[in-house]
């Protein structure tokens, strides 16, 4: 699917951010500063593997753009009028068809905005995925409002309005989609270097006021039931922060459950209200696969993260024509990572399983995917080569239900996005001593995995107990 400059500009114009008090219309075809390394390549948005590659978009005339602009302004104003009539947030959310009136109005109007913005050529491919994402996010916000969640207010938003209010929720999801179209498609598509530094306020000319790190946190925080969430292993967390402050390196060996895992780490560490933990959350470097830097909806969130971008072996072998290029990029990524480790004070997050944990469709449970010993060997080797003391900790994560992934691994990008309002958790495990040579590598991996699984199961039990206890107190 190829989106022309005019088409991307029109889509972003229609989906520009709305707030309760004003409308800001942002054309998506403006340039991006050199710090973003934006591509001039017209790479397509791969929303579906079955999607015809020969599909084209009709460019929109200025007159048509003006009509879209006026229609969208009317729709947005209608949403505001409808939502200001009041919402019964005590209504229990049991399905997509039982949303409170104001949330249903916000969903209906947002769906109309999308339908008007997306050309009919893509109504069978792109549009259903975006409509599903809209419905999921609005439903999660309605569930949060019904639960009386007060923990989801943005740390950077001074607006008195509740972030779970229909207007605020609709504005966030439409801005997310706008950024996905603006930076994930067409000639302004973001291209990630092997080592990517988080883009903060002022780093992107096309969105100068946007701190993409904070944007990601603010987007997912309202979907986290923070009062029922857990940060375990805080003594170990303090050790990690002390070691980083001393110029030593730390590698988190984590299970990986959802696309929002970086935001889960940040929001939970911020919830501790300890400046050292908040600063550490923003400094984490995530070892990322190709999907988070090529999927249009994932790109805006990845822009706000420090990344080491590595192609998995499966992805490298998928296309023989690009294999050598990807291998060169991996060498660049390894070189960048080694340089950061040599500098000291580096905190890496890596999922040795190579992907997200998947639900067992028979039992319904979500086990931790096994760790790959070769992946762990590589990070131990890098730590040794750096000549800087490097520590290894397990980091158990409970976040699957926040953004449940598909039950099976999908090679392409453009998967359906699911969002839930749920408690989440992290547990910083004990340090895993990096001793012994190659003959001990399997023992190290097995120990790290067993510890992560044990902490993961305890996290699940603690979260369930928190939910039960608070329900009994209500």
| pLDDT at res. 148 | 82
Give yes or no for a contact between 224 and 267, defined as CB atoms under 8 angstroms apart: yes
Q: What are the tokens at 18?
A: 């709305």
Position 414 confidence tier, pLDDT thresholds 50, 70, 90: low
Q: Which residue has the tokens 């491919």?
A: 125
Tokens describing residue 328: 């060169």
What would the mean pLDDT of 210-232 be, rounded to a whole number? 97
Per DSSP, helices labelled H in 344-440 are: 373-386
Q: Are 311 and 289 in contact (CB under 8 A)?
A: yes
pLDDT tens, position by position, 130-174: 999 999 999 999 999 998 875 444 444 443 358 889 999 999 999
pLDDT at 172: 96
CA 304 to chain CA mean position, Å: 9
Q: What integer pLDDT is reported at residue 145 of this predicted model?
A: 92
pLDDT of residue 373: 92
H or E element that contains 251: strand 249-254
pLDDT value at residue 50: 33
| CATH architecture of the domain formed by 195-473 | 3-Layer(aba) Sandwich (3.40)
DSSP 71-127: HHHHHHHHHHHHHTT---TTS---STT---HHHHHHHHHHHHHHHHHS-GGGTTTHH
pLDDT at 19 (0 to 100): 33
Q: Tokens for 113, please give them.
A: 């905005």
Residue 439 pLDDT class (50, 70, 90 cuts) = low
Please say if the pLDDT value at position 274 is more than 80.
yes
CA-CA distance, 181 to 175, in Å (whole number)? 10
CA distance 81 to 95: 25
Element holding 306 (H helix, E strand): strand 306-309
pLDDT confidence of residue 240: 98
Residues in the chain: 474
Q: Are 51 and 125 in contact (CB under 8 A)?
A: yes
The tokens describing 6, both together, are 């005019």
Q: Where are the domains positioned within the chain? A: 5-188, 195-473
Longest dimension (CA), the chain: 70
Backbone angles phi, psi at 452, to 5 degrees: -65, -40
pLDDT score at 117: 85
Backbone angles phi, psi at 308, to 5 degrees: -110, 115
Q: What is the pLDDT of residue 186?
A: 85
Cβ contacts of 35 within 8 Å, gap of 6 or more: 199, 203, 204
pLDDT tens column, 32-55? 232 333 333 323 323 332 333 222
pLDDT at 62 over 50: no
pLDDT at 467: 85
State mean pLDDT over 389-415: 82
Q: What is the pLDDT of residue 90?
A: 36
Tens-digit pLDDT profile for residues 240-263? 999 999 999 999 999 999 999 999
The per-residue pLDDT for 261 is 97
Q: d(Cα 169, Cα 131) in Å, to the nearest integer?
A: 14
- As a whole number, mean pLDDT of residues 255-284 equals 97
Measured in degrees and rounded to the nearest 5, phi and psi for residue 190 equal -70, 130
Q: Which of 7-11, 279-283, 455-459 has the lowest mean pLDDT?
A: 7-11
Burial category of 408 from C-beta neighbours within 10 Å (exposed 0-12, middle 13-18, buried 19 and up): exposed
Three-class SS state of 230: strand
């Amino acid at each position: 699917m190829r989106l022309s400059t005019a088409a991307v500009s029109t889509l972003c114009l229609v989906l520009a951010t709305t707030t309760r008090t004003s409308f800001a219309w942002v054309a998506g075809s403006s340039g991006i500063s050199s710090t973003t390394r934006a591509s001039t390549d017209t790479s397509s948005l791969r929303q579906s593997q079955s999607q015809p590659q020969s599909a084209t978009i009709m460019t929109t005339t200025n007159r048509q753009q003006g009509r879209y602009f006026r229609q969208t302004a009317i729709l947005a104003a209608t949403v505001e009028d409808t939502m200001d009539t009041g919402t019964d947030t005590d209504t229990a959310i049991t399905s997509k068809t039982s949303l409170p009136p104001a949330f249903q109005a916000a969903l209906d109007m947002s769906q109309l905005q999308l339908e008007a913005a997306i050309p009919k050529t893509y109504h069978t491919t792109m549009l259903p995925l975006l409509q599903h994402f809209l419905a999921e996010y609005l439903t999660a916000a309605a569930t949060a409002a019904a639960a009386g969640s007060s923990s989801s207010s943005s740390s950077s938003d001074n607006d008195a309005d509740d972030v779970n209010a229909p207007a605020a929720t609709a504005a966030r999801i439409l801005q997310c989609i706008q950024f996905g179209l603006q930076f994930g498609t067409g000639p302004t598509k973001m291209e990630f270097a092997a080592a990517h530094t988080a883009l903060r306020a002022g780093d992107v000319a096309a969105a100068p006021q946007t701190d993409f790190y904070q944007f990601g946190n603010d987007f997912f925080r309202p979907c986290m039931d923070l009062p029922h969430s857990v940060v375990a292993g805080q003594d170990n967390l303090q050790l990690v922060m002390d070691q980083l402050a001393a110029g030593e390196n730390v590698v988190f060996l984590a299970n990986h459950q959802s696309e929002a895992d970086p935001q889960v780490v940040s929001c939970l560490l911020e919830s501790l209200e300890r400046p050292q933990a908040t600063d550490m959350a923003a400094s984490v470097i995530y070892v990322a696969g190709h999907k988070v830097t090529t999927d249009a909806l994932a790109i805006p969130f990845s822009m706000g993260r420090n990344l080491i971008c590595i192609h998995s072996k499966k992805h490298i072998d998928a296309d023989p024509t690009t294999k050598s290029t990807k291998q060169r990029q991996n060498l660049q990524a390894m070189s960048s990572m080694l340089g950061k480790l040599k500098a000291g004070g580096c905190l890496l997050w890596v999922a040795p399983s190579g992907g997200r944990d998947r639900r067992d469709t028979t039992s319904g449970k979500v086990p931790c995917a096994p760790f790959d010993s070769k992946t762990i060997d590589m990070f131990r080797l890098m730590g040794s080569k750096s000549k800087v003391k490097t520590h290894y900790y397990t980091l158990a994560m409970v976040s699957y239900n926040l953004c449940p992934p598909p039950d099976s691994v999908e090679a392409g990008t453009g998967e359906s996005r699911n969002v839930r309002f749920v408690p989440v958790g992290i547990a910083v495990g004990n340090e895993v001593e990096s001793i012994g040579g190659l003959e001990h590598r399997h023992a190290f991996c097995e120990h790290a995995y067993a510890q992560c699984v044990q902490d993961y199961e305890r996290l699940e039990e603690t979260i369930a107990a928190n939910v039960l206890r608070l329900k009994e107190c209500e």
